[in-house]
Structure 1
Amino acid sequence: MALLIETGLSDWISDSDIARDILRHYPNTDVRTPDSLGDPADITMVAVVGLKNDHHKRLPNLQLVQKLGAGVETIVSNPNLPEHVRVARLKPDAPAQEIAEWFVAYVLRHQRHMGFHEAAQRRAEWLPKAPLYAPETVVGVLGLGHIGARSAKMLRAIGFQVMGWSRSPKQIDGVTCLHGEVALPELLGQCDHVCAILPSTPQTVSLFDAGMLAAMKPGSQLLNAGRGDLIDETALIAALDNGTPGHAVLDVTSTEPLPSENPLWAHPGVTITPHVSGWHLGDALSDVGENFQRLSAGDPLLHEVDRGRGY
């Protein structure tokens, strides 16, 4: 039994760096990379960012796909993945902290009128403008799992009024939590900022269509660090032109990298970051090694995904 690290990425952590980190925690593990693959029949577990359509053909004894992150929608929906192959994800603390920081950064950028002051500086104009007051500002967090709960708590600690929304009931101290489809438009109409960290499921794809965008508070800000397919981007552009919402900050888009001709790039109401809100995995790579040990021993896996539900 062997573990293959195959991210297919050149602008993130290298396969060899990930392999070294796993070996630091589990020195006796048979960890391989594409450069040291050996016999593909030895591979029982592969750690990936995205699943390739030929993985099941190249790795005939594959038993587990380990996502190096949280979102597994493209893996569980891959029709080429045999039914017996299990899927697990990571729930790392480091990117949860970083994504919460990303939400805070762009909420505060709006609250403190940083764009306004930067533009005034370029014109050499001294133009005082009162910042928005945090205790009078409502921030909504959509998705109250590991990352969303961290984000809601961080925003509440700064002094914002925080509302949370999830499909099932949740409780977070100091946060007004709503749940269910009917409650979402109610929340949107009250929030000055909406921070979305929802998974991609059949229920969330294009959830933010023209109707849902129209339910937002005029002039509010929509921030998405979850999945790009949450938002109907054509409807978003039309909604921004009407001022509801007033601005969108997107760390994820429906197509990545975002094509240069996409109108989101040039729209004055859009800020784009290239899927960088959560970057570091911290100590979570030890879970990859732990799952390989558990798979080999026949023990329950960490963070195994229900392939039917998609998370």
Structure 2
Amino acid sequence: MALLIDGGLSGWMTDAEIAGQVRTQLPGADVRTPDTLGNVDEITMVAVVTLRDGQPAKLPNLQLVQKLGAGVETIVKHPALPDHVRVARLKPDAPAREIAEWFLAYILRAHRNMPVHEAEQATSTWTPVEPRYTPDTVIGVLGLGHIGGRTARMLRDIGFQVKGWSRSPKDIDGVDCRHGYDSLPDLLGACDHVCAILPSTPETVGLFNANLLSAMKPGNQLLNAGRGDLIDETALMQALDAGTPGHAVLDVVSQEPLPADNPLWSHPQVTITPHVSGWHLGDALKDVAENYRRLTAGEPLLHEVDRARGY
């Protein structure tokens, strides 16, 4: 049995760096990279950021795909991945904290009128503008799992009013938790900022369509660090033109990298970041090593995904 580290993502940790960290957790284990591939028949587990089109066919004895991150929609939907192959994801604390910080950064940017002051500095204009009052500001957090729960608690602790939404009931102290689609329009209409941290499932793809966007509070801000397919981007630009919402901050989009001719780049009410809200894995590679050990020993996996549900 062998573990293949094949991240497949440029501009991040290299395969050799990831493999080196995993080997420190698995002394004596057979941990490979594409540069040390060897006999592919011996590979039973692969750790990836993206599972490429022809990859499953090249690994005939594959038993487990370990995502080097949280979102697994492209893996569970992969047309060439055999039904018997299991899928697991990571639930590290480091990127969850970073994603919460990303939401907070862009909320505070609007909350303290930073774009206004930056623009006026360019013309040497001194115009005091009242910032919003934190206790009167309502923030919605859509998705209350590992990352969303961390985000909701961080915003709550700063003093914002936080409303959470999830598919099934959740209970977070100090957060007004709601669930089910029918409760979503009213929540959106009450929020000054909406943080989307939902997975990609058949129920969430295109969730933010024209109808749901029209339910948002005029002038509010929509922030998405969940999955790019949550938002109908054509409907979003039309809604932004109408002022509902007033601004969108997108760390994820439907096509990544975002093509240079995509109109989102130039829309005056859109801010783009290149999928950087959560970057560091912290000690999460210990879970990759542990899942290889568990797979080899026939034990239950950490953070295994229900392929039918998609998360």
Question: Do these two structures clear the TM 0.5 threshold for a shared fold by scoring above it?
Answer: yes
What is residue 255 of structure 1 aligned with on the other side? Answer: 255
Conserved in 2, the CA contact under 8 Å of 1:29 and 1:289?
A: no
* Residue in 2 that maps onto 1:159: 159
Equivalent in the alignment of 2:234:
234
Describe how 1:1-311 pairs up with structure 2 within 5 A. 1-311=1-311
**AA matched with 2:168:** S
**1:205 and 1:57 mapped to 2: Cα distance?**
28
How far apart, in 2, do the equivalents of 1:120 and 1:29 lie? Answer: 59
Residues 163 and 187 in structure 1, CA contact (< 8 A), matched pair in contact too: yes
Q: Which runs of 4+ in 1 moved over 4 A?
A: none
Amino acid at match of 1:89: R
17-26 or 135-144, which deviates more: 17-26
Amino acid at match of 2:286: S
Task: Give the Cα–Cα distance (whole angstroms) in 2 for the partners of residues 40 and 177 of structure 1.
Answer: 48
CA drift at 1:24: 1.6
Cα distance between partner residues in 2 of 1:75 and 1:101: 27
The DSSP-based 3-state class of the residue aligned with 1:189 is helix
Shift of 1:53: 2.0
- Structure 2 SS opposite 1:194: strand
- Deviations, residues 98-148 of structure 1 (Å, cap 9, x unaligned): 000000000000000111111111111122111111100000000000000
Please state whether the residue corresponding to 1:139 is helix, strand or coil: strand
Whether the aligned pair in 1 keeps the contact of 2:57 and 2:80 (CA below 8 Å) is no
Instruction: Quote the Cα distance in structure 2 between the aligned partners of 1:211 and 1:227.
Output: 19
- The whole-number CA distance in structure 1 between the counterparts of 2:199 and 2:277 is 15
Pairs aligned (count): 311
Q: Which runs of 5+ in 1 are unaligned?
A: none
> Letter of the aligned partner of 1:226 in structure 2?
G
**How far apart are the structure 2 equivalents of 1:243 and 1:6?**
43
TM-score by length of 2: 0.99
Preserved contact between residue 9 and residue 50 of structure 2 (Cα < 8 Å): no
Q: Name stretches of at least 5 consecutive residues in structure 2 with no aligned partner.
A: none
Task: Indicate the larger mover: 259-268 or 23-32.
Answer: 23-32
Query: Is the 1:5–1:32 Cα contact (8 Å) retained in structure 2?
Result: yes
SS at structure 1 position matched to 2:283: helix
Q: Give me the CA root mean square deviation.
A: 0.6
